[in-house]
Every structure is written in C-alpha cells, then in structure tokens.
Amino acid sequence: MSSILRIKNIGTTIFKQTPIQSSDLKKSDPTYVAKAGELFFASAVDRDVKKYGGDHWKVTFENKLQPREGGVPIQTWLVFEGDVEEYRLVK
C-alpha cells in the first residue's frame, strides 16, 4: 500500500543505510537530508523496528533519492520513525 511520509517540524532528519546515530556514520556512508514539512511518496514501509535498530523504518520510496555524498541514487532508506508522520493512501 502506498503512503505519504511527511517530515515533522523538527528541522531536518537524515535518511541513511544503517540504523545508527547520524553522528556515528562515516563520511562516505550515503545519507539524504530531509527538511521539515517535506513530503515523500513511499511504495513500501517496513515498520518492524526490531529489525532496524529499534527505532527506524525501512522505506522504499517511489522515486530514488540522490545521496548528498554523490554516487548512484538510492530507492530504499532507513528513516527514524520519530521524525516522520505516515499517511496511507486509500484507493
């Protein structure tokens, strides 16, 4: 089921590939900075936080996102669940 994820009014949040604190990531680790109020269309959201560090969702976005470090755009990211609101689309 498709969803819309909205970034809460917290400033920014970091999408990443590993469920660790952003400050603990290596400079080469892919990240995407999402701003407060920004909307993203997701084709799949795995909410089983136990698999992703206890507080992250695995989100596959409809469009790939370009990591700020460069490289190939990535479609699936880990997102801190406390920084987003999810709206499910009903057909």
pLDDT in tens, 57-82: 999 999 999 999 999 999 999 999 99
Q: What is the pLDDT of residue 89?
A: 78
Furthest-apart CA atoms within the chain: distance in Å: 41
Task: Output the CATH code of domain 3-88.
Answer: 2.30.30
pTM over 0.85: yes
Q: Where are the domains of the chain?
A: 3-88
The number of beta carbons lying within 10 Å of the beta carbon of residue 40 is: 20
Q: How far apart are CA 60 and CA 45, in angstroms?
A: 6
Q: How far apart are CA 1 and CA 17, in angstroms?
A: 22
pLDDT in tens, 18-52: 999 999 999 999 999 999 999 999 999 999 999 99
pLDDT above 80 for 88: yes
Q: What is the pLDDT of residue 62?
A: 97
Q: How far apart are CA 64 and CA 48, in angstroms?
A: 22
Name the β-bridge partners of 16: 31, 78
Per the structure block, which two tokens stand in for 72?
A: 């190939």
